[in-house]
Chains A and B, each alone.
Chain A
Amino acid sequence: MIRLINVTAGYDKVEIIKNIDLFFEEGTITTIIGKNGCGKTTLLKTASNLLKPFSGQITIKGKNISHIPNKELAKKLSFLPQLRSVPNITVYNLVMHGRYPYLGFTRTPQKRDRQIVEEAIESMNLDGYIHKNIQELSGGQRQKVYLAMTLAQNTDIIFLDEPTTYLDINHQLEILEIIKKLKHMGKTIVMVLHDLNNALSYSDKICLMENGRIAIYDMPQAVFESREIDRIFNISSTQVEAGDEGVKQYLFCLK
């Protein structure tokens, strides 16, 4: 689906990620993990074309993304940053912004745009907040509104930078379940998470980074068993089975 070929990128001529080769598979959740400052967000921004790489190339279905016009690219991939402005507008209007790449010269939403926006709001169970100003919503509700906007953007690939940060545990799990639902809708999700247990539990693939390079890129169980997490974070990890269904969960403590 989306491939990074020997990509080096950073800010102000300082290389943050180096010689990255990656392939994000279609219809999967890939989570990028690693210590603070290892280049997770830089990788996410580079893969989503928000940051131009110093060298290397990124392709979507074989096509170099730097050759795709902005609006066309916005129909293929969306990016939800961790830190965002919170504009003084209603939920409906914010979600409608997701239709921007599809609007014509007059920027007037058509019936289809309105229908997609209403469906996105309904799918996030935000019907009751449609007329609310987003500045009046809690962090968790706001995150759902932004996910609804991303859904309205209707892209096959969605990049999420720490979508659960600052949220309480209920909203964290709710957002992760929504992300799982997006995957079942056929979307390719690539996200950055700090919570290792959630990362290992909800992902199909884990990309563990260290000093701007990929330490290991594999399925969660393989990454756990490699003990690379323990080495890089300098922790001890344990796998346990929780609940009646024996769901695998992960515990971490300092060495």
Chain B
Amino acid sequence: MEAHNKSLYIYKNRKSYNVTVIAFLTILLVFVIFLSISFGSTKISLPAIFSALKERDTASKIYRIINYVRIPRTLAAVLAGSALSISGVILQSVLNNSLAGPSIIGVNSGAGLFAVLIAAFLPGSIYYTTIGAFLGAILSVLLVYFIARKTGASRMAIVLSGVAVSSFIGAMTDTVITLKPDAVMDRTAFIIGGFSGVTLDQMSLAGFCIIVAFALSLILSYDMNILALGDESAKSLGLNVGRIRFLYLILAAVLAGSAISFAGLLGFIGLIVPHVSRLLVGYDNRILLPVSALLGSTFTLFCDLLARVIFAPYEIPVGIIMSFLGGPFFIWLLLRRKRGQLYD
């Protein structure tokens, strides 16, 4: 009876805390969304935003800025931020590696190679770059997984295979750039990442993929908790470890690949946000995933806002702001951990 009372008390306390965190982050995200629509080279007041959206006057400059520039940009930052963060949570949990991120399973290198190939052979086509980066991310992850599977698809095999494949694909990318130097300009913009000029059309497919992959991740979040027990314990509890790990890797690749396809290689979100979210709500993936999605969206949107307003009317790429904030945090994270604790 004592155990029952204690567990009930802890369960209720924990639940109300989690609800409070989610509510707070949702309010914060909504607030930053309004800031993002309001601020930029042209400042638009809140009443003007509502008025423009209500009247829908296509001749109005304010409406056109909101509808064709600010909303797509805001939506892109929200989608990319949440997708990369969830991808990071999945990879860190599934690979049991606190320093894992989309780059560790070859997502970035695969997307980068295809972006360069498109820039070299189909110059000026943003649409093909989007599709190409997405396909590159998925194909490289499949390659990483199938190589790792030959050695049992253990967590370490996947990480090592990811490093090897990334290195090989990186060499291929450099070869293409050496032979076709014109591709460098497009590649640089892709590597830094950003939301400037993103259109709704450009991210419609990626957005759909992100929403579906996020929903599936939420459904499978408890299975991810079981996987954290280790392969043998998870299998003994009835989890199909090989299948579920493959599914998670694909979900992580779809999420990161989709985000990269319209936002470029945004560094550190997939690494930082899962760690901060864990500090807030702990390791239960059922709550960690939505919290990371909210926090990732807010952080990305906030960085994009800073990128637009710091040197307004000039804009600096959001990837630079993220790396300036993310780099020191990453170093702090490394220094905070004692030797031998990099793998939890």
Contacts and interface: CB of A to CB of B under 8 A. Distances in A.
Interface of A: 45, 48, 50, 70-75, 77-81, 83-85, 87-90, 92-93, 97-98, 100-101, 103, 105, 107, 114-115, 117-118, 121-122, 127, 130-131, 153
B3 A127 contact: yes
A18 B236 CA distance: 23
A100 B222 CA distance: 9
A75 B237 CA distance: 8
Contacts of A48: 236
Contacts of B229: 84-85, 87, 97
A130 B226 contact: no
Contacts, number: 94
Given A77-B236, A89-B282, A100-B237, 16 more contacts: A45-B232, A48-B236, A72-B238, A74-B237, A79-B232, A79-B233, A85-B230, A88-B283, A88-B344, A92-B7, A92-B10, A93-B225, A97-B226, A103-B222, A127-B2, A130-B10
B228 interface: yes
Pairs A-B, 6 closest by C-beta atoms: A74-B238, A107-B222, A71-B238, A79-B236, A85-B230, A101-B238
A130 B8 CA distance: 11
B4 to A, nearest CB: 5
Contacts of B96: 85
Contacts of A114: 4, 7
B230 A84 contact: yes
Contact of A50 (B222, B235, B282): B235
Given A81-B230, A85-B228, A131-B6, A98 B237 contact: yes
A97 B238 contact: no
Contacts of B147: none
A131 B7 CA distance: 8
A14 B222 CA distance: 36
A172 to B, nearest CB: 21
A107 B237 contact: no
B223 interface: yes
Nearest to A108: B222
A181 to B, nearest CB: 18
B178 interface: no
Contact of B4 (A78, A81, A105, A118): A118
A117 B4 CA distance: 9
Nearest to B2: A127
B284 interface: yes
Interface in B1-37: 2-4, 6-7, 10-11
B4 A100 contact: no
Contacts of B228: 85, 87
B232 A81 contact: yes
B141 to A, nearest CB: 23
Contacts of B219: 105
Nearest to A11: B152
Nearest to B243: A70
B236 A78 contact: yes
Contacts of A122: 2-3
B45 interface: no
A77 to B, nearest CB: 8
